[in-house]
Chain A
Amino acid sequence: MFRLTSVLGALVAGALLSGGAARADGSGSATIDAIKARGQLVCGVGGSVPGFALPDSQGVMRGLDADFCRAVAAATLGDATRVKFVPTTTTNRFTALQSGEVDLLVRTTTWTLGREANLGLLFAGVNYYDGTGFMVKKALGVKSAKELDGATICIQPGTSTELAVGDFFRVNKLKFTPILIADLPELRNAFLSGRCDAYSTDGSQLAGFRATQPNKDDLVLLPETISKEPLGMMVRKGDDKFFDLVRWTHFAELIAEEAGVTSRNIDSFADTKLPELRRLLGLEGDMGKALGVDNRFAYNVVKQVGNAGENWDRSMTALGVPRGINALWNKGGLQYAPPMR
């Protein structure tokens, strides 16, 4: 089945590529040309994941993933509002991208070898470094996950958390009793009411959950992160130009943050002498043209959506999620952008 879909995916990608090559005056990328012709970026998101992509009460998609879609729209079309958000589920997300239903998939998807090698898809970057963690009540007196021998642990069934927790306890030769509840509010209630000693899921979710609890000081996040979950944005294989554009949209957000350029102060840099900044703002060099878009693509991204830090604050700080390893490299995090030159 997977082989079949990857073959089909490759066929689709091949068809796209040949279509792009036939057009001489285009950007050299079938996807970018299609987006420009349509006047709209079609972006696959989760649609029900707080902090990443969730419609607010007015129906407007909000979150880190949604803002990344807007950034790519700003880079490609110069207008961050020209995005069509397609909510996808964990089952149909890859097909949606393979079949060309969406141009780009930004859906809290963990970057793994299997996915990149088998699906005919590519990860263009990591917009969120996540990992499985544990939360306990302070009264339990546990300071480390290794002290959880014999504990009951609340987990959502069928998630990567379930596998990670099982592996962790087996490797450390500890025992635990899983309590599997699919419904998230019910799971959280089970933890709060004391049916299980610990609650395990992605660290970002734990932090967000803790932040909204009235008695947040009674809840402790254990220091261990027992699995790596780098969440990234995916494109189809075979359109390297579009891959470059998506990747450099992400880097542009990081470079802007590193240089202290925000959506509010970006116009005050109009007469800057710093070459790196002048290239970022499209004042010199042909950075955008090399990617097949306008030279001011990074300016549009930062001006209309924001730099990486602003996007984080808007979606994650509001949920009470600390930046941690998602900070810039020079602030103790993992986010590092190559130079724009």
Chain B
Amino acid sequence: MRQSAVIRERPPAGSVGPVAWLRTHLFGSWWSTAVTLLLGYLLLRWGLGFVDWAVVNAIWSVPAGENGQPDATICRTAEPAGACWAVIGDKARFILFGRFPYESQWRPALCVAIFLALFGISASRRCWRRELLLIWTVALSAIGVLMWGGVLGLEFVPEDMWGGLPITLILATFGLAFAFPLSVLVALGRRATDLPAVKILCVLYVELIRGVPLVSLLFMASVMFPLFMPVGMNPDKLLRAQVAFILFAGAYLAEVVRGGLQALPKGQYEAADALGLSYWQKTGLIILPQALRLVIPPLVNTFIGFFKDTSLVLIIGILDLLTAGKVAMADPVWQGVGTEIYLFLGAIYFAFCFAMSKYSRRLERSFGRARNR
């Protein structure tokens, strides 16, 4: 029998640490090595090419031409070709804020900041209280005041002058903020077997809206709807598009929520009934908290999809972020310079969508902790 304690030895250097990780994951066998080397080579080549294009050979500013417009000739003739970031410098404010009066563009900028702050506050679970509703009301009113103006000495700016990022954020935020409660109601209605009329209405709504593409709904809202209205009674184009969005998002989210309701074991419903809870108590306290938790990933998936779908309003002539970028690209001064604008737009969309997906993972983990305890 051994008398002394065993001296714990370090594992051999070859089985832990970064070197071992590399060896097992990237150079495990001869073909794995080959693929690693090939992909590494391509990555390096394209990566360096991109850096060359985007940073080393980039053109950051262009001289002004004789008519006061920037002269982008050097962007087109530069050898070797580099990114023409000067176009972003010239067009950034147009892409971000559209045709909003130039000297008042601090207003939409402030709106974007308010939106971001609002998202930030709402993301934290500590802030999920009744006061949050108040904060949202105040913030959204502030955004309305800033965008429209007409009070407090702010110049009035009609909706047709709005554009860029605020439009995208307004469409997405209001769209989802109204569509989500709507979808919960519709999902509950679709499962209300003892209320056949309600059930049929909900099924009709979901199937009709889901059966047509968003584009055709937007066309309905922008092309057909005005023809049915009395002259001079034209609700604004933006409002019409917003309503179309809410209806469309509502139908899709309703199905996601219904999935969550169906996944819940029947015992939960029966237990709630056994406690003598009313229908709304049962739904609000027992069913929905569990059902919605189950469907966080598909919910966020739909949210992200809708954030990007807002760019479809370009077909009815609303100047959202993507449309503003395309209009900026059409400027003959910057002819041939488009990739840079697309990259700029892509970065903005990515930032928002990535933040959403990160947040959903965090939310899942924190809910999961409670459940797995």
Chain A residues within 8 Å of B, Cβ to Cβ: 5, 8, 12, 15-16, 19, 34, 47-51, 54-61, 84-89, 91-92, 95-96, 98-101, 184-185, 188-189, 208-209, 212-214, 318-319
| A213 vs B328: C-alpha distance when bound (angstroms) | 19
Central interface residue in B73, B158, B327, by most chain A CB within 10 Å: B327
Given contacts A8-B227, A50-B330, A318-B67, 6 further A-B contacts (CB under 8 A): A57-B328, A57-B331, A59-B97, A84-B160, A86-B317, A208-B332
Give min CB distance, B84 to chain A, whole Å. Answer: 13
Nearest 6 Cβ contacts at the A-B interface: A99-B226, A59-B99, A58-B102, A87-B317, A50-B332, A48-B327
**Do A55 and B99 touch (CB < 8 A)?**
yes
Tell which of B76, B97, B231, B331 has the most Cβ of chain A within 10 Å.
B231
In the assembled complex, the Cα of A101 lies from the Cα of B223 at a distance in Å of 10
A-contacting residues of B (Cβ < 8 Å)? 67, 73, 76-77, 90-91, 93-94, 97-102, 158, 160-161, 163, 219, 222-224, 226-227, 229-232, 234, 237, 315-317, 319, 326-332, 335-336, 338
Distance, CA A209 to CA B335, complexed state (A): 8
Within 8 Å by CB of A59, from B67, B100, B237, B317, lies B100
Residue of chain B at shortest CB distance from A95? B223
Least Cβ–Cβ distance between A128 and chain B, in angstroms: 16
B338 nearest in chain A by CB position: A185
> By DSSP majority rule, is chain B's interface helix, strand, loop, or mixed?
helix
* B94–A59 CB distance below 8 A: yes
- Which residues of A lie under 8 Å from residue B160 when comparing CB positions? 84-86
CB within 8 A of A92: which of B161, B223, B331, B332?
Answer: B223
Q: Which of A56, A61, A214, A319 contacts B73 (CB 8 A)?
A: A214
B332 touches A58 (CB 8 A): no
B327 x A89 contact (CB < 8 A): no
Q: Are A212 and B335 in contact (CB under 8 A)?
A: yes
Known A88-B317, A95-B223; judge A54-B327 contact (CB<8 A).
Answer: yes
Q: Are A47 and B331 in contact (CB under 8 A)?
A: no
A276–B144 alpha-carbon span in the complex (Å): 52
Most B CB within 10 A of own CB, among A15, A60, A100: A100
Q: Are B98 and A59 in touch, CB under 8 angstroms?
A: yes
Question: Which residues of A have CB within 8 Å of B328?
Answer: 57
Q: A47-B327, A87-B317, A185-B329 are in contact. Are A95 and B99 (CB under 8 A)?
A: no
Say yes or no: B234 contacts A100, CB within 8 Å: yes
- Which residues of chain B are within 8 angstroms of A185 by Cβ–Cβ distance? 329, 335-336, 338
- Residue contact B223 to A91, C-beta cutoff 8 Å: yes
A58 adjacent to B315 (CB under 8 Å):
no
| Contact partners of A85 in chain B: CB under 8 A | 99, 160
**Min CB gap A135→B, angstroms:** 15
* A58 CA / B98 CA spacing, docked (Å): 9
Contact B231 A15 (CB under 8 A): yes
Specify the chain A residue showing the minimal Cβ separation from B228: A8
Is B226 in contact with A59, judged by CB distance below 8 angstroms?
A: no
B163: chain A residues within 8 A (beta carbon): 59
- The answer for the CA separation of A5 and B219 in the assembled complex, in Å, is 14
Q: Return chain B residues, CB-CB under 8 Å to A209.
A: 335
Identity of the chain B residue whose Cβ is nearest the Cβ of A214 in the assembled complex: B77
Pair B332/A214 contact, Cβ less than 8 Å: no
Report the separation of the CA atoms of residues A60 and B99 in the bound assembly, to the nearest whole angstrom: 7
A49 touches B330 (CB 8 A): yes
CB of A177 to closest CB in B, whole Å? 25
Are B91 and A57 in touch, CB under 8 angstroms?
Answer: yes
| Contacting residues, chain A, for B224 (C-beta < 8 A) | 95
B319 proximity list for chain A (CB < 8 A): 47, 87
Q: For the complex formed, measure the closest distance between the CB of A70 and the CB atoms of chain B, giving whole angstroms.
A: 15
Bound Cα distance from A16 to B232, whole angstroms: 10
A-B contact pairs, 16 of them (CB 8 A): A16-B231, A34-B232, A47-B319, A48-B327, A56-B331, A57-B91, A58-B93, A58-B102, A59-B101, A59-B161, A61-B99, A85-B160, A89-B317, A95-B224, A99-B227, A185-B338
